[in-house]
Amino acid sequence: LTKVAIVGRPNVGKSALFNRLIGRKKAIIHETPGTTRDRNDHEVSWRDKNFIATDTAGWSTDISAFSKDMSRQLDIAVEKSDIVLFVVDGKTGAHPTDVQIAQQIRLKRKKTILVVNKIDTQAEEIKGYEFYELGFDDVIFVSANHGRSVHDLLDKIWENIKYDRKEKNTWKTLKIILVGKPNVGKSSFINTVAKEERSIVHDTPGTTRDSLTARIQSDGKEYILTDTAGLHRGNKTKDGMEYLSNLSTGHAIEDADVAVLIADASQGIGETEVKIARLLLEKKKPVIVTVNKWDLIEEKEEAAKYFTGQLRERIKFMNWADIIFISAKTGQRLGRIFQEAKLVFEQYSKQLTKEELNDVIRDALAKKPYTNKGRTLKIKEYVQATSKPPVFIFSVNDTDLVHFSYERFLENCLRAKFDFHGTPIVLKFRNYY
């Protein structure tokens, strides 16, 4: 986990800030300068990331000067951290000790955010301007006691937390939902997999929410495969519309991690498949597109070309999804669906760092400066706000300038660089003030 150290001379409000960050209700604040306490570590969750906040209050009893002792402790704290919150007192103004601490921190070349504390109102921010002279680019005015701008500080920390690549594999269970109109082979799929894996299939006939479920273990992971609920098994018509309305009103898609859209090779890609795909896109789920009953196809190579063309044409808006030809009857390539589900879920969970995003956006802007109605679109800020699905927020000079084609262009740039195959990504634009 990323370590965030809170440093600064005594009595600037380090412990109050620490308490604010960790969300402790009753802040233990020592009013006596230099009160000695132990170092304090605490895990903090903000949005989808965690970090360790370290409070280094109580280093020194000598507040009049920058002592050797203080200097040594500062070195240790900064050395051990990934991000440094350098706290200063906005009420008293810059102290010579602040200057010395600043110099020492800079030598370590760690990401540093200068936190000007005790700024209780916006009007008071002007008092803190002198701290810009300490030479840090990232400056934020907060009030630890009142909680003012503490969320902005957390956002700044969040932006600088490197996404831990190992995190993407921490999931234990993946819920896969099979969607496709009646008779495409959903229950056959589940039964075949269950037979091969000797898994148990649960079936609840007669109820309106009957569905099949199979649990499969593989590589220490569990996959829960379900057929869409909401179909009357007893009255299994060829009614794709009824299926679709059940699918769109129920929670089956929301509950799943990955959706497998199944088309029938003996029937081709019709209106129902397109509608199901639209629904999946609306719900922002990762998708694998499959064509089942592949065992019935004789000229496989030609058919593969034909189906791929048809899918890419009719479901253009999902051109990021892979297409896999399967047979629920013979079991052909069913195993690949699980491998693929794992991969697309990883793409769906991906969180880009600020630096990664910088590179691609800078390239995109250089490649295609965008003007509309004689004005140039300017992207002032951007961030990946969440994963699952990946959501990117762009702060621009005027959202009216953002055209669909430009949105597409940005999406393509992100996909070209960071893959994101199998997952939708969301781009949001807002005005920058």
- Smaller CB distance to ligand GDP: residue 113 or 190? 190
Q: Which of 19, 272, 292, 347 binds ligand GDP (CB under 6 A)?
A: 292
Distance CA 420, CA 142 (A): 37
Q: By C-beta, is 5 or 297 nearer to ligand GDP?
A: 297
User: What residue is closest to ligand GDP based on CB?
Assistant: 185
Sheet holding 323-325, edge to edge: 201-202, 213-218, 221-227, 173-179, 258-264, 287-292, 323-325
- CB of residue 180 to ligand GDP, shortest distance in Å: 6
Helices (H) and strands (E) in the chain, counts: 13, 18
Query: Segment near ligand GDP (CB under 6 A), from 31-39, 93-101, 248-256, 323-331?
Result: 323-331
Three-class SS state of 394: strand
- Interatomic CA distance for residues 431 and 379, integer angstroms: 9
Among 71, 183, 246, 248, binds ligand GDP (CB under 6 A): 183
On whether 59 is known to bind a ligand per the annotation, the reply is yes
Nearer to ligand GDP, 243 or 320 (CB): 243
Structure tokens at 19: 């308490």
Of 165, 186, 286, the C-alpha closest to 231 is: 186
Matching residue, tokens 């009420």 = 91
Contacts 24+ apart (CB under 8 A), 207-216: 208/232, 209/250, 211/252, 212/186, 212/187, 214/190, 216/338
Least distance to ligand GDP from the beta carbon of 214, Å? 13
Known binder of ligand: residue 229? yes
> Which 8-state DSSP code applies to residue 342?
H
CA nearest 85: which of 116, 124, 48?
A: 116
- Minimum CB separation of residue 228 from ligand GDP in Å reads 9
Residue span binding ligand GDP (CB under 6 A) among the ranges 86-94, 167-175, 181-189, 382-390: 181-189
Candidates 13-21, 293-301, 400-408, 422-430: pick the segment binding ligand GDP (CB under 6 A).
Answer: 293-301
Could you report how far apart the first and last alpha carbons of the chain are, in Å? 34
Q: Is 293 labelled a binding residue?
A: yes
135 among the known binding-site residues? no
If binding is defined by CB under 6 A, does position 117 make contact with ligand GDP? no
Task: Identify residues 148-177 at the interface with ligand GDP (CB under 6 A).
Answer: none
Q: Is 12 annotated as ligand-binding?
A: yes
Percent helix, strand, coil in the chain (nearest 5)? 40, 25, 35
Q: Are 377 and 371 a contacting pair, CB within 8 Å?
A: yes
- Is 182 near ligand GDP (CB under 6 A)? yes
DSSP β-ladder status, 375-376 and 371-372: antiparallel
Check residue 188 for interaction with ligand GDP (CB under 6 A): yes
**In terms of CB distance, is 134 or 231 closer to ligand GDP?**
231
CB of 184 to ligand GDP, least distance (A): 5
- The one among 1, 126, 241, 296 contacting ligand GDP by CB under 6 A: 296
Could you list the residues known to form a binding site, using ranges. 8-15, 55-59, 117-120, 180-187, 227-231, 292-295
Footprint of ligand GDP on this chain (CB under 6 A)?
Answer: 180, 182-188, 292-293, 295-296, 327-329
Could you list the residues known to form a binding site for GTP, using ranges. 8-15, 55-59, 117-120, 180-187, 227-231, 292-295
